[in-house]
Amino acid sequence: FKLDGKPMTIISGAVHYFRMPREYWRDRLMKMKACGLNTIETYVPWNLHEPIPGKYNFTGDLDLVHFILLAHKLEFYVLLRPGPYICSEWEFGGLPSWLLRDPKMKVRTMYPPYIAAVTKYFNYLLPFVKPLQYQYGGPIIAFQLDNEYGSYFKDADYLPYLKEFLQNKGIIELLFISDSIEGLRQQTIPGVLKTVNFKRMENHFTDLSNMQPDAPLMVMEFWTGWFDWWGEKHHILTVQEFGETLNEIFSQGGSVNFYMFFGGTNFGFMNGAYKDGTGFHADITSYDYDALIAENGDLTEKYFKAKQIIEHYFPGTTDQKSNILPLTPRVSYGSVPISQSISLWNGLAAIPSQVETESPVCMEMLDINSDAGQSYGYILYQAEVQLPSYEKFIEIGGVQNIYDRGILFGDNIIIARVKNSMTTKPKIPVDGKEKIKVSILVENGGRTNWQDFDDQRKGINGFISANNEPVKNWKISPLEMDEKYIRALSKSSWTSVEQSCDSLSSPMFYKAEVTCRSSPMDTYLDMSSWGKGVVFVNGRNLGRYWSIGPQQTLFLPGPWLHKGANEIIIFEETKCIWYISYRNTKSFAS
């Protein structure tokens, strides 16, 4: 590369402003600077910035401009990857779920309603970043067109359209695409740089050089680790493998973007998912990624290996006075008792609106949230089934229409756990009753962030039958579990917890309180004894936990606590638990 006519090697790190509290932006960036980086890279998540069509949020932890200006102040260049699609193991790859209200939606193509939504969003976003370009005195030196499109490649006109659109809106810096070598072969766009993504060198730079012999070599995603999903082992890349590949990149004259340099956390319901031949797999809450800076901000062995290699190839670029930077203080608050509880059924009163339909409707199609539908969380379907007096049980069909996983109830008692891959029909005992209330609580485990995009509607997307007869007249409760709902739930009528059960007959909300007697510090909630659910602290959603691992703890940033009493609300699907414990270290099960 050349910048202002001078040769330049880009030494960049991926760091996502939306995966950590704003209070930690400076800390993470300064640690990257000390390692010898001259550039940072970040995605821009459309679904967070436009959660409802036409209503935008670029404030607080989503203040993109402040983040870029902070990087500029710390003398970084910036590689910006604005999407529309970002992958990143992020919910729906960063696309907003309200796109799916169009039953014919074809995302990442020239399908007119999709392009209209992208145009509207970019018309709002680009004026923020246009003046931050390098040629205007800002730090942004390059923009990516979409993300890894060659590996998807549904429309040959899509990337050329995005290129022309950005340039017409005043984007004058370098444009690039990134992908695997196979994906890069799918499309060549004049004036757009190809960059490659990989974990190990192999022949990638040779292949890239053959594609564009007069262009600089860059790995846009040098995968420093890997992401994790529920029920699988914690993935790592050894320090030795990492160091060998980084040496190869620099020895061959390449530029690099470490993906991830700092991973952070998929707070809330923002984890992505993927599908393969074995089914649907939801990603975990932690996005630690086995990166150079750990989820909690600690420097890892990989960090110091990178610093050593960077200093070898580019002497004087690293900060030799900060070989051991101070750790972010952490504390264990011990164990605190669960004091109160409220059942799922009593918690429905805090929902602002319920919907009645003849047949089940998926969450995106609910007429709520200013025509945005329901995006995240759980959704409860309830219907009354009339029964002949001689029936001993009813057989429930249509479970293949449940996305992603659900709990089936008969008269508010758990009968079975269901998902769309089931081949059997669960049975509800009725014992001669004249009628029974059938309820199905469905969790949106996260929309896939890779390949399968259009078939992403969650909840029940089809019929449900009882003894082969379609069940009709449903009451639908959107359990979005957003901050507004949690605060309303907190003010509901809770009861004292009684230590008298081993398992739950229906899901429960639990409440506890932790007191910070001095300035709050980072901590972890130890969820290893719990079953499955979600944790909220002072109204903020820390994310999901699940006993199948590999994640056993939830990271709780100190800035989300305050001195004095802090409220914890836990939505638990399966277990009776009487306490919540804290740790000062993370934990992954093997």
- Domain identity same for 496 and 438: no
Residues near 280 by Cβ (< 8 Å), separated by ≥ 6? 273, 274, 404, 419, 420, 421, 445, 448
Going by pLDDT thresholds of 50, 70 and 90, the confidence category of residue 590 is very low
pLDDT at position 499: 65
Is 478 within the bounds of a domain? Answer: no
pLDDT at 301: 97
Is the bond into 113 cis (omega within 30 degrees of 0)? no
Strands (E), 263-350: 273-276, 279-282, 335-343
Residue 352 forms part of a structural domain: no
Residue type, 191: G
If asked whether residues 59 and 108 sit together in one domain, one would say yes
Find all residues with CB under 8 Å of 468, minimum gap 6, and list them: 395, 397
Q: 306 and 377: one domain?
A: no
Cα 271 to the center of its chain, rounded Å: 3
405-410: long-range contacts at Cβ-Cβ below 8 A with a sequence spacing of 24 or more? 405/442, 405/443, 405/445, 406/440, 406/441, 406/442, 406/443, 407/440, 407/441, 407/507, 407/573, 408/438, 408/439, 408/440, 409/437, 409/438, 409/439, 409/440, 409/441, 409/506, 410/436, 410/437, 410/438, 410/439
229 with 283: CB under 8 angstroms? Answer: yes
Report DSSP letters for 494-519, one per residue: -EE-----SB-SS-EEEEEEEEESSS
Residues 235 and 255 in one domain: yes
| Gap between the Cα atoms of 149 and 109, Å rounded | 10
Domain C-terminal end among 416, 438, 472 = 472
Residues 461 and 494 in one domain: no
Question: Average of pLDDT values for 402-428?
Answer: 95
For residue 479, CA distances in Å to 230, 258, 403, 462 come to 22, 38, 15, 19
DSSP state of 328: P
Same domain, 132 and 9: yes
Residues 120-163: tens digit of each pLDDT: 999 999 999 999 999 999 999 999 999 999 999 999 999 999 99
Residue closest to 170 by CA, chosen among 116, 133, 137, 120: 133
Burial of 349 (0-12, 13-18, 19+ CB in 10 A): exposed
Contacts for 374 with CB less than 8 Å, ≥ 6 apart: 363, 364, 366, 368, 459, 478, 480
| CATH code for position 136 | 3.20.20.80
**328 is a domain residue:** no
526 and 457 fall within a common domain: no
CB atoms within 10 A of CB 585: 12
Give the pLDDT confidence of 186-202 residue by residue, as tens digits.
Answer: 989 999 999 999 999 99
> Which residues make beta-bridge pairs with 532?
546
Q: Is the pLDDT of residue 490 over 50?
A: yes
Q: What is the DSSP string of 226-259?
A: ---BTTSPPP---HHHHHHHHHHHHHTT-EEEEE
Q: What is the mean pLDDT of residues 460-478?
A: 96
Burial of 279 (0-12, 13-18, 19+ CB in 10 A): exposed
Domain membership flag for residue 425: yes
**Per-residue pLDDT reduced to its tens digit, 58-90:** 999 999 999 999 999 999 999 999 999 999 999
Asked if residues 35 and 311 have their Cβ atoms less than 8 Å apart, the reply is no
Classify residue 254 by burial, with Cβ atoms within 10 Å: 0-12, 13-18, 19+: buried
**Predicted confidence band at 170 (pLDDT cuts at 50, 70, 90)?**
very high
Closest alpha carbon to 274 in 403, 94, 449, 93: 449
Asked if residue 434 is part of any domain, the answer here is yes
Is 452 found in the same domain as 496?
Answer: no
* Number of domains, the chain: 3
Q: Distance between CA atoms of 461 and 359, rounded to whole angstroms?
A: 10
**Among the ranges given (29-33, 329-333, 546-550), the one the predictor scored with the smallest mean pLDDT:** 329-333
The residue whose two tokens read 């359209």 is: 161
Q: Residue 32, SS3?
A: helix
Task: Provide the β-strand partners of residue 439.
Answer: 382, 409
Distance CA 216, CA 174 (A): 12
Is residue 329 in a domain? no
- pLDDT surpassing 60 at residue 203: yes
Q: Is the pLDDT at 585 greater than 90, yes or no?
A: no
Look at residue 353 in the predicted model and tell me its pLDDT: 87
Q: Which residues partner with 257 through β-bridges? A: 12
CATH number at residue 435: 2.60.120.260
Q: Is residue 155 part of a domain?
A: yes
Among 443, 472, 501, the domain boundary falls at: 472
pLDDT of residue 502 exceeding 70, the answer is no
Residue 552 to residue 292: CA distance in whole angstroms? 21
129 and 201 share a domain?
yes
Kindly state the helix (H) or strand (E) to which residue 43 belongs, with its residue range: strand 39-43
Percent of the chain, pLDDT > 70?
97
Distance CA 211, CA 205 (A): 10
> Residue 516 CB: number of other CB atoms within 10 A?
17
Give residues with Cβ within 8 angstroms of 253, minimum separation 6: 9, 217
Confidence grade of residue 45 (pLDDT, cut at 50, 70, 90)? very high
Residues 257 and 386 in one domain: no
| Residues labelled as active-site residues | 148, 221
Cβ neighbors of 542 (< 8 A, separation 6 or more) are 267, 285, 525, 534, 535, 536, 554, 555, 556
The confidence score (pLDDT) of residue 322 equals 57
Give SS3 for 269.
Answer: coil
Residue 181 CB-density burial (10 A; 0-12 exposed, 13-18 middle, 19+ buried): buried
Do the beta carbons of residue 125 and residue 156 sit within 8 Å?
no
Rounded CA gap, 292 and 262, in Å? 6
- Segments in 188-228 forming alpha helices (H): 204-211
Residues 468 and 384 in one domain: yes
Q: Which of 320, 350, 385 is the last residue of a domain?
A: 320
- Cβ distance 185 to 208 under 8 Å? no
Q: How many CA atoms lie within 13 A of 89 on its CB side?
A: 23
Note down the domain range covering 440: 359-472
Residues 6+ apart with CB under 8 A from 69: 132
Instruction: Using the predicted structure, report yes or no on whether residue 223 has a pLDDT greater than 90.
Output: yes
Q: Please check whether residue 326 lies inside any domain of the structure.
A: no
pLDDT at position 210 is 97
Which helix (DSSP H) or strand (DSSP E) does residue 97 occupy? none
C-alpha to C-alpha distances, 568 to 534, 535, 537, 579, nearest whole angstrom: 11, 7, 5, 11
Both tokens of 503, joined, read 């398992």
Whether the per-residue pLDDT at 588 is higher than 80: the answer is: no
Residue 413 neighbours by CB under 8 Å, 6+ apart: 505, 506
> What pLDDT, on the 0 to 100 scale, is given for residue 501?
64
Q: Please, what is the average pLDDT of the chain?
A: 95
Looking at the structure, do residues 63 and 184 belong to the same domain, yes or no? Answer: yes
